[in-house]
Structure 1
Amino acid sequence: MIKGLYETHVQVSNLENAIQFYTEVLGLKLAHMDETRPIAFLWIGEGKEFMLGLWEQKENLQPRHFAFSSDKEDILNYSAEYLKNKNLKPYNFLKDESDKPMVFAWMPALAIYFNDPDGNSLEFISILEGEGRPELGVISYEEWLSKK
Protein backbone atom coordinates (compact mmCIF):
# COMPACT_ATOMS: atom_id res chain seq x y z
CA MET A 1 0.00 0.00 0.00
CA ILE A 2 2.59 2.59 1.03
CA LYS A 3 4.82 3.82 -1.78
CA GLY A 4 6.42 6.83 -0.08
CA LEU A 5 5.70 9.98 1.87
CA TYR A 6 3.72 12.50 -0.16
CA GLU A 7 3.38 15.44 2.20
CA THR A 8 4.25 16.79 5.60
CA HIS A 9 3.17 19.89 7.52
CA VAL A 10 4.94 22.33 9.82
CA GLN A 11 3.81 25.23 11.97
CA VAL A 12 5.02 28.72 11.17
CA SER A 13 4.55 31.98 13.07
CA ASN A 14 3.89 34.13 9.98
CA LEU A 15 2.47 32.52 6.86
CA GLU A 16 3.59 35.26 4.44
CA ASN A 17 7.16 35.19 5.76
CA ALA A 18 7.23 31.39 5.62
CA ILE A 19 5.94 31.34 2.04
CA GLN A 20 8.65 33.82 1.10
CA PHE A 21 11.35 31.71 2.78
CA TYR A 22 10.30 28.41 1.25
CA THR A 23 9.68 29.83 -2.25
CA GLU A 24 12.34 32.52 -2.64
CA VAL A 25 15.11 31.03 -0.49
CA LEU A 26 14.60 27.29 -1.03
CA GLY A 27 12.88 27.39 -4.44
CA LEU A 28 9.64 25.53 -3.66
CA LYS A 29 6.55 26.44 -5.68
CA LEU A 30 3.37 27.81 -4.12
CA ALA A 31 0.54 25.39 -4.96
CA HIS A 32 -2.39 26.78 -2.97
CA MET A 33 -3.08 29.23 -0.17
CA ASP A 34 -6.17 29.21 2.02
CA GLU A 35 -6.26 32.42 4.04
CA THR A 36 -9.40 31.32 5.93
CA ARG A 37 -7.43 28.68 7.89
CA PRO A 38 -4.53 30.10 7.30
CA ILE A 39 -2.48 27.50 5.47
CA ALA A 40 -0.35 27.26 2.33
CA PHE A 41 0.70 24.25 0.32
CA LEU A 42 3.96 24.18 -1.64
CA TRP A 43 5.19 21.76 -4.28
CA ILE A 44 8.54 20.07 -3.72
CA GLY A 45 10.17 18.83 -6.90
CA GLU A 46 8.64 18.52 -10.32
CA GLY A 47 5.29 17.11 -11.35
CA LYS A 48 3.50 17.46 -8.02
CA GLU A 49 5.67 14.70 -6.52
CA PHE A 50 5.73 15.96 -2.94
CA MET A 51 4.02 18.67 -0.91
CA LEU A 52 4.76 20.77 2.15
CA GLY A 53 1.97 22.35 4.18
CA LEU A 54 2.64 25.53 6.18
CA TRP A 55 0.19 26.16 9.01
CA GLU A 56 0.24 29.57 10.67
CA GLN A 57 0.24 29.16 14.46
CA LYS A 58 0.42 32.36 16.51
CA GLU A 59 0.86 30.67 19.90
CA ASN A 60 2.52 27.49 21.18
CA LEU A 61 4.56 26.98 18.02
CA GLN A 62 5.98 23.45 17.95
CA PRO A 63 9.02 23.18 15.66
CA ARG A 64 9.37 19.98 13.67
CA HIS A 65 11.94 18.23 11.51
CA PHE A 66 11.86 17.01 7.94
CA ALA A 67 14.40 16.29 5.21
CA PHE A 68 14.66 17.14 1.53
CA SER A 69 16.06 14.43 -0.77
CA SER A 70 19.19 15.77 -2.42
CA ASP A 71 22.01 14.57 -4.64
CA LYS A 72 25.14 13.40 -2.86
CA GLU A 73 27.38 15.63 -4.99
CA ASP A 74 25.23 18.70 -4.30
CA ILE A 75 25.43 18.07 -0.56
CA LEU A 76 29.19 17.50 -0.66
CA ASN A 77 30.11 20.34 -2.99
CA TYR A 78 27.47 23.04 -2.63
CA SER A 79 25.27 22.71 0.43
CA ALA A 80 27.30 24.77 2.92
CA GLU A 81 27.97 27.53 0.39
CA TYR A 82 24.36 27.46 -0.83
CA LEU A 83 22.97 27.79 2.70
CA LYS A 84 25.44 30.50 3.74
CA ASN A 85 24.57 32.50 0.60
CA LYS A 86 20.94 32.34 1.77
CA ASN A 87 21.97 33.57 5.26
CA LEU A 88 21.33 30.14 6.76
CA LYS A 89 23.69 28.34 9.12
CA PRO A 90 24.49 24.75 8.12
CA TYR A 91 25.23 22.35 10.96
CA ASN A 92 25.93 18.70 11.64
CA PHE A 93 26.09 16.35 14.63
CA LEU A 94 29.84 15.76 14.48
CA LYS A 95 30.62 18.03 17.45
CA ASP A 96 33.48 19.51 15.44
CA GLU A 97 31.82 22.92 14.95
CA SER A 98 32.18 22.56 11.19
CA ASP A 99 29.56 22.96 8.50
CA LYS A 100 30.63 19.79 6.71
CA PRO A 101 28.02 17.16 5.88
CA MET A 102 27.95 14.04 8.05
CA VAL A 103 27.10 10.40 7.49
CA PHE A 104 24.48 8.52 9.46
CA ALA A 105 26.33 5.22 9.14
CA TRP A 106 23.34 3.03 10.04
CA MET A 107 21.52 3.98 6.81
CA PRO A 108 24.02 4.99 5.32
CA ALA A 109 23.12 8.57 4.36
CA LEU A 110 24.92 11.87 3.86
CA ALA A 111 23.23 14.86 5.51
CA ILE A 112 23.52 18.50 6.50
CA TYR A 113 21.05 20.46 8.64
CA PHE A 114 19.76 24.03 8.83
CA ASN A 115 16.79 25.80 10.39
CA ASP A 116 13.94 27.77 8.90
CA PRO A 117 13.04 31.16 10.46
CA ASP A 118 10.62 29.44 12.89
CA GLY A 119 13.16 26.94 14.20
CA ASN A 120 11.95 23.96 12.18
CA SER A 121 14.94 21.67 11.65
CA LEU A 122 15.46 21.05 7.93
CA GLU A 123 17.87 18.65 6.29
CA PHE A 124 19.37 17.86 2.91
CA ILE A 125 19.88 14.08 2.76
CA SER A 126 21.16 11.55 0.24
CA ILE A 127 21.19 7.79 0.72
CA LEU A 128 24.66 6.39 0.08
CA GLU A 129 25.50 3.13 -1.68
CA GLY A 130 26.46 0.13 0.38
CA GLU A 131 25.35 -1.48 3.59
CA GLY A 132 24.76 0.40 6.79
CA ARG A 133 27.32 0.26 9.58
CA PRO A 134 25.38 1.19 12.75
CA GLU A 135 28.40 0.59 14.96
CA LEU A 136 30.09 3.66 13.41
CA GLY A 137 27.40 6.09 14.57
CA VAL A 138 27.56 9.57 13.01
CA ILE A 139 30.84 10.22 11.20
CA SER A 140 32.36 12.53 8.60
CA TYR A 141 32.10 11.60 4.93
CA GLU A 142 35.88 11.23 4.78
CA GLU A 143 35.79 8.77 7.67
CA TRP A 144 32.93 6.89 5.97
CA LEU A 145 35.00 6.51 2.82
CA SER A 146 37.96 5.20 4.78
CA LYS A 147 35.78 2.58 6.57
CA LYS A 148 34.04 1.19 3.46
Structure 2
Amino acid sequence: MTSFPQIDAVYETHLPVRDLDRAVEFYHDTLGLELAYRQEARGMAFFWIGGQQTGMLGLWQAGSAPMRMVLHMAFRLGQEAVLAVPAELKAKGAEPLGFEGEPVREPVVIGWMPALTVYCKDPDGHSIEFLCPLPDAPDPDFGIGPWSRWLQR
Protein backbone atom coordinates (compact mmCIF):
# COMPACT_ATOMS: atom_id res chain seq x y z
CA MET A 1 0.00 0.00 0.00
CA THR A 2 1.38 3.43 -0.91
CA SER A 3 1.40 6.24 1.59
CA PHE A 4 -0.59 9.38 0.94
CA PRO A 5 1.51 12.47 0.06
CA GLN A 6 2.38 14.58 3.12
CA ILE A 7 -0.07 17.42 3.76
CA ASP A 8 1.87 20.40 5.08
CA ALA A 9 -0.77 23.12 5.54
CA VAL A 10 -4.42 24.01 5.21
CA TYR A 11 -4.72 26.18 2.11
CA GLU A 12 -8.32 27.26 2.34
CA THR A 13 -11.36 27.16 4.54
CA HIS A 14 -14.90 28.44 3.97
CA LEU A 15 -17.43 29.86 6.42
CA PRO A 16 -21.16 30.54 6.13
CA VAL A 17 -22.05 34.09 7.26
CA ARG A 18 -25.39 35.81 7.88
CA ASP A 19 -24.35 39.28 6.70
CA LEU A 20 -21.62 39.30 4.05
CA ASP A 21 -20.96 43.05 4.34
CA ARG A 22 -20.49 42.80 8.11
CA ALA A 23 -18.26 39.73 7.76
CA VAL A 24 -16.14 41.35 5.01
CA GLU A 25 -15.69 44.41 7.23
CA PHE A 26 -14.57 42.21 10.16
CA TYR A 27 -12.07 40.12 8.19
CA HIS A 28 -10.73 43.10 6.23
CA ASP A 29 -10.87 46.00 8.68
CA THR A 30 -10.49 44.20 12.02
CA LEU A 31 -8.19 41.31 11.08
CA GLY A 32 -6.46 43.04 8.15
CA LEU A 33 -6.90 40.26 5.57
CA GLU A 34 -6.50 41.16 1.89
CA LEU A 35 -9.73 40.91 -0.10
CA ALA A 36 -8.92 38.70 -3.10
CA TYR A 37 -12.31 38.53 -4.83
CA ARG A 38 -15.94 39.35 -4.14
CA GLN A 39 -18.98 38.42 -6.19
CA GLU A 40 -22.18 40.08 -5.01
CA ALA A 41 -24.47 37.97 -7.23
CA ARG A 42 -23.30 34.75 -5.57
CA GLY A 43 -22.96 36.28 -2.09
CA MET A 44 -19.31 35.34 -1.65
CA ALA A 45 -15.98 36.91 -0.79
CA PHE A 46 -12.48 35.46 -0.72
CA PHE A 47 -9.47 36.71 1.24
CA TRP A 48 -5.78 35.90 0.87
CA ILE A 49 -4.11 34.74 4.05
CA GLY A 50 -0.39 35.37 3.74
CA GLY A 51 -0.69 35.82 -0.03
CA GLN A 52 -1.95 33.72 -2.91
CA GLN A 53 0.62 30.99 -2.42
CA THR A 54 -0.15 30.56 1.28
CA GLY A 55 -3.87 30.40 1.92
CA MET A 56 -7.41 31.59 1.37
CA LEU A 57 -10.60 32.16 3.36
CA GLY A 58 -13.99 32.03 1.63
CA LEU A 59 -17.11 33.65 3.10
CA TRP A 60 -20.55 32.64 1.81
CA GLN A 61 -23.78 34.51 2.53
CA ALA A 62 -26.26 32.07 4.05
CA GLY A 63 -29.83 32.36 5.23
CA SER A 64 -30.38 32.52 8.95
CA ALA A 65 -31.84 29.33 10.32
CA PRO A 66 -32.75 28.24 13.85
CA MET A 67 -29.90 25.69 13.90
CA ARG A 68 -26.83 27.14 12.20
CA MET A 69 -23.34 25.77 12.26
CA VAL A 70 -20.63 27.64 14.13
CA LEU A 71 -17.13 26.75 12.98
CA HIS A 72 -13.55 27.12 14.17
CA MET A 73 -10.34 27.96 12.35
CA ALA A 74 -6.85 28.86 13.48
CA PHE A 75 -4.43 31.28 11.82
CA ARG A 76 -0.72 30.60 12.37
CA LEU A 77 1.32 33.67 13.34
CA GLY A 78 4.76 34.34 14.80
CA GLN A 79 5.19 34.55 18.57
CA GLU A 80 5.51 38.34 18.75
CA ALA A 81 2.42 38.72 16.58
CA VAL A 82 0.33 36.45 18.85
CA LEU A 83 1.55 38.39 21.88
CA ALA A 84 0.25 41.59 20.22
CA VAL A 85 -3.15 40.13 19.23
CA PRO A 86 -5.08 40.89 22.47
CA ALA A 87 -4.29 44.62 22.33
CA GLU A 88 -4.92 44.76 18.58
CA LEU A 89 -8.31 43.05 18.92
CA LYS A 90 -9.31 45.40 21.77
CA ALA A 91 -8.22 48.45 19.76
CA LYS A 92 -10.48 47.32 16.92
CA GLY A 93 -13.47 46.58 19.11
CA ALA A 94 -13.16 42.79 19.28
CA GLU A 95 -12.86 40.83 22.54
CA PRO A 96 -9.73 38.67 22.97
CA LEU A 97 -10.71 35.31 24.44
CA GLY A 98 -9.00 32.38 26.13
CA PHE A 99 -9.42 28.67 25.48
CA GLU A 100 -12.75 28.45 27.36
CA GLY A 101 -14.12 31.64 25.76
CA GLU A 102 -13.25 33.84 28.75
CA PRO A 103 -12.01 37.41 28.16
CA VAL A 104 -8.20 37.62 28.39
CA ARG A 105 -5.56 40.34 28.43
CA GLU A 106 -2.72 38.07 27.31
CA PRO A 107 -2.45 34.91 25.19
CA VAL A 108 -2.78 31.50 26.79
CA VAL A 109 -0.58 28.44 26.32
CA ILE A 110 -1.89 24.98 25.57
CA GLY A 111 0.76 22.96 27.38
CA TRP A 112 0.48 19.59 25.64
CA MET A 113 1.28 21.09 22.21
CA PRO A 114 2.72 23.59 23.34
CA ALA A 115 1.18 26.56 21.52
CA LEU A 116 0.65 30.23 22.30
CA THR A 117 -2.91 31.18 21.41
CA VAL A 118 -5.64 33.82 21.53
CA TYR A 119 -9.23 33.48 20.31
CA CYS A 120 -12.03 35.81 19.24
CA LYS A 121 -15.46 35.49 17.68
CA ASP A 122 -16.35 36.82 14.25
CA PRO A 123 -19.70 38.58 13.72
CA ASP A 124 -21.41 35.21 13.10
CA GLY A 125 -20.01 33.60 16.24
CA HIS A 126 -17.37 31.51 14.47
CA SER A 127 -14.33 30.79 16.64
CA ILE A 128 -11.16 32.41 15.29
CA GLU A 129 -7.83 31.36 16.81
CA PHE A 130 -4.43 33.04 16.44
CA LEU A 131 -1.77 30.42 17.18
CA CYS A 132 2.01 30.11 17.34
CA PRO A 133 3.49 26.64 17.93
CA LEU A 134 6.16 27.04 20.61
CA PRO A 135 9.62 25.45 20.33
CA ASP A 136 9.49 24.39 24.02
CA ALA A 137 9.04 20.80 25.13
CA PRO A 138 5.40 19.78 25.65
CA ASP A 139 4.20 20.08 29.24
CA PRO A 140 0.83 18.30 29.58
CA ASP A 141 0.84 18.94 33.34
CA PHE A 142 0.70 22.70 32.67
CA GLY A 143 -2.75 22.32 31.18
CA ILE A 144 -3.93 25.59 29.64
CA GLY A 145 -2.93 28.85 31.24
CA PRO A 146 -1.69 32.39 30.77
CA TRP A 147 1.52 33.10 28.88
CA SER A 148 2.98 34.80 31.97
CA ARG A 149 2.51 31.61 34.02
CA TRP A 150 4.11 29.52 31.22
CA LEU A 151 7.18 31.77 31.37
CA GLN A 152 7.44 31.31 35.17
CA ARG A 153 7.60 27.49 35.02
Tell me if structure 2 keeps the 8 A contact 1:94–1:139. no
Q: Which amino acid aligns with 2:112?
A: W
Which position in structure 2 is the counterpart of 1:73?
80
CA distance, structure 2, for counterparts of residue 95 and residue 29 of structure 1: 27
Which position in structure 2 is the counterpart of 1:85?
91
Q: Which amino acid aligns with 2:130?
A: F
Cα separation, partners in 2 of 1:39 and 1:94, compared to 1, 3 Å: closer
Unaligned runs of 5+ in 1: none
Greater shift after overlay, 127-136 or 101-110? Answer: 127-136
Which position in structure 2 is the counterpart of 1:143?
149
CA distance, structure 2, for counterparts of residue 74 and residue 95 of structure 1: 20
TM superposition score normalised by structure 1? 0.88
Q: 2:59 aligns with which of 49, 54, 57?
A: 54
Which position in structure 2 is the counterpart of 1:126?
132
Give the superposition deviation at 1:53: 0.7
Unaligned runs of 5+ in 2: none
Q: Which amino acid aligns with 1:99?
A: R
Q: Which amino acid aligns with 1:29?
A: E
Equivalenced residues, count = 146
Identity score, percent:
39
CA distance, structure 2, for counterparts of residue 128 and residue 99 of structure 1: 19
